[in-house]
Amino acid sequence: MKTILIVNDDGIASPGLKAAAEAVRGLGEVVVVAPAMQQSGVGRSISLFSPVGITRSSALEVEAYSIAGTPADAVIIGIHGILKKRPDLLVSGINMGENMSSEATTSGTVGAALEGASQGVPAVAISLHTGREFSFDEGEGLDFATAQEVLGKLAGQVLGRGLPEGVDLLNVNVPYGVEKPRIRITRLARRMYTTRVQERSDPRGRTYYWIDGDAIYDAEEGTDVHAVRVEECVSITPLKLDLTSMESLREMRRFRDIL
């Protein structure tokens, strides 16, 4: 019997988490560990200076726990605290909102998958492009059917044959409202949002900021951003943990030689 750990960053109440559990239920024993609260944008952060509480949750039809921690905490506690063994697959998602480009390291959804991969578990991060018309509270109305179908098939493939050599995790993004979308194997775009800050004042006149930005649509062909936002295809980007710039190692000698 295969074991599948499911985590997310939108929190235990997210309909995307429920959708993920439904999508892979037939493939093995499923255990869900998810943050109690919305944790989008926390990347791969872990709680080192505070304890992480855990509560059994009846929100899902499978064994599920809610934790007072981050998505990467959920992975670590799921593997080392609850399962006490490595699962055969980690699924992170289904996130409400796409996670693409090198900005994906900001994502709690991708961050959890990176943590899983780092723990030696093949991981799939999956996100649904929703546009900004959906707020996180309105997720109940979202249609996850296409993302569920993609996830079920990919999970079966990873469980059966593993990931290709050199791949630690898959970052999958599904366009919204497209019936039978085509599939593209992609690379990360450079950016998916522009960066902007909105400066405001609190009631006592002190300045605060909202970090904000607009979606980028003009990414190069072959990238995840182009595939999902321009071509309305599913993007599957194979990722690896090693961020080392191998091609620069020779040129880097000049940095060594000045020291």
Question: Whose Cβ is closer to Mn ion: residue 95's or residue 186's?
Answer: 95
Question: Considering beta carbons, is residue 17 or 158 the nearer one to Mn ion?
Answer: 17
Residues 6+ apart with CB under 8 A from 43: 72, 105, 106, 107, 108, 110, 111
In sequence order, the β-bridge partners of residue 123 are 90, 169
| Closest CB to Mn ion among residues 10, 115 | 10
Q: Identify which of 22, 32, 10 has the alpha carbon closest to the alpha carbon of residue 90.
A: 32
Which residue, 26, 15, 73, is CA-closest to 49? 73
Is 233 within 8 Å of 183 (Cβ atoms)?
A: yes
Report whether 129 contacts 175 (CB < 8 A): yes
- Part in contact with Mn ion (CB under 5 A); list of ranges 5-13, 80-88, 214-222, 240-248: 5-13
87-146 positions binding Mn ion, by CB under 5 A: 95
Q: Which residue among 4, 6, 7, 9 contacts Mn ion (CB under 5 A)?
A: 9
Number of residues that bind Mn ion (CB under 5 A): 4
Nearest residue (CB) to Mn ion, 42 versus 82:
42
10 near Mn ion, rule: CB under 5 A: yes
**Residue 224 interacting with Mn ion (CB under 5 A):** no
State in angstroms the smallest separation of the CB of 136 from Mn ion.
8
Query: At 67, is the secondary structure helix, strand, or coil?
Result: strand
Site residues (vs Mn ion, CB under 5 A): 9-10, 40, 95
